[in-house]
């Protein structure tokens, strides 16, 4: 994918932006699905390469020896999820970061909040918890795109929501620094 092409996940990011304020729980689910999908796309792309780039070289070799049918079957089976793939990254920091993201993803995907103590919270407390978890999921998406060296970047606003999804580059980083710069408030009138 070149930066001139629209990102294949542009529509998903736009849906996340539209949903994030009104439906934090559902938006968090969507973000973790997107993270796992992007990681699986990386596995597909790395398998095509003669040498591993981000994945463990030994596992990369195993993937390349599989037939296309075997590879797709293993990639779409329940056992090759985000946590499994995270342990197959070459860089220890990437393994740890994606492993932590996988744990948070599992908490959401397996509806662990249907059990005590979360289910015992009142509606407002659960709402606050879901908003906090959404902000964490957005940060997890940003970290995942960074690890995967995605040509696009998520800009997060002061409220912790996705503000923009744009190609990386010098202009993008200037825009990012403007976005994240604390706002100046006028001093109170005396």
Phi first, then psi: give them for residue 154, nearest 5 degrees.
-95, 130
| Mean pLDDT, rounded, of the chain | 87
DSSP bridge pairs for 167: 152
What pLDDT does residue 94 have? 98
CB 162 within 8 A of CB 156: yes
**C-alpha count within 13 angstroms, C-beta hemisphere, residue 7:** 20
Residue 67 has pLDDT above 60, yes or no: yes
Residue 178 has pLDDT above 80, yes or no: no
Q: Cα–Cα distance between 39 and 154 in angstroms, integer?
A: 16
Q: Cα–Cα distance between 161 and 77 in angstroms, integer?
A: 32
* Confidence at 175, pLDDT banded by 50, 70, 90: very low
**How does pLDDT run across 117-160, given as a tens digit for each residue?**
888 889 899 889 999 999 999 999 999 999 999 999 999 999 99
Lowest mean pLDDT among 92-96, 112-116, 143-147, 154-158: 112-116
Q: Cα–Cα distance between 134 and 130 in angstroms, integer?
A: 6
Proportion of the chain above pLDDT 90, given as a percent: 73
Per-residue CA distances from 6 to 26, 50, 104, 117 (Å): 25, 27, 29, 43
**Mean local confidence (pLDDT), 64-82:** 93
Residue 176 has pLDDT above 50, yes or no: no
What pLDDT does residue 170 have? 60
- Selected residue with higher pLDDT from 48 and 181: 48
What pLDDT does residue 114 have? 73
**Mean local confidence (pLDDT), 89-110:** 94
What pLDDT does residue 140 have? 98
Query: SS3 sequence, 86-102?
Result: HCCECCHHHHHHHHHHH
What global pTM score does this model have? Answer: 0.84
For residue 72 the two structure tokens come to: 């797709």
Strands (E), the chain: 152-156, 162-167
CB 52 within 8 A of CB 60: yes
Q: Cα–Cα distance between 43 and 77 in angstroms, integer?
A: 14
**How does pLDDT run across 7-51, given as a tens digit for each residue?**
999 999 999 999 999 999 999 999 999 999 999 999 999 999 999
Residue 113 has pLDDT above 80, yes or no: no
Q: Cα–Cα distance between 174 and 101 in angstroms, integer?
A: 28
Residues in the chain: 190
Residue 61 has pLDDT above 70, yes or no: yes
Angle at 123 between CA 122 and CA 126, to 5 degrees: 85
């Amino acid at each position: 994918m070149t930066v001139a092409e629209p990102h294949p996940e542009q529509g998903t990011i736009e849906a996340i932006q539209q949903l994030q304020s009104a439906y934090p729980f559902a938006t968090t689910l969507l973000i973790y699905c997107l993270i796992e999908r992007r990681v699986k796309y990386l596995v597909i792309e790395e398998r095509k390469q003669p040498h591993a780039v981000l994945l463990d070289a030994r596992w990369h070799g195993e993937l390349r020896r599989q037939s296309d049918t075997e590879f797709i079957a293993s990639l779409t089976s329940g056992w090759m999820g985000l946590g499994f793939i995270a342990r197959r990254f070459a860089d220890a920091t990437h393994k740890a970061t994606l492993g932590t993201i996988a744990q948070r993803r599992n908490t959401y995907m397996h509806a662990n909040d249907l059990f005590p103590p979360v289910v015992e919270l009142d509606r407002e407390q659960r709402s606050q918890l879901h908003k906090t978890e959404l902000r964490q999921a957005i940060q997890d998406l940003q970290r995942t795109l960074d690890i995967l060296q995605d040509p696009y970047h998520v800009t997060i606003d002061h409220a912790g929501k996705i503000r923009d999804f744009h190609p990386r580059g010098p202009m993008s980083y200037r825009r990012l620094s403007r976005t994240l710069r604390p706002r100046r408030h006028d001093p109170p009138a005396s």
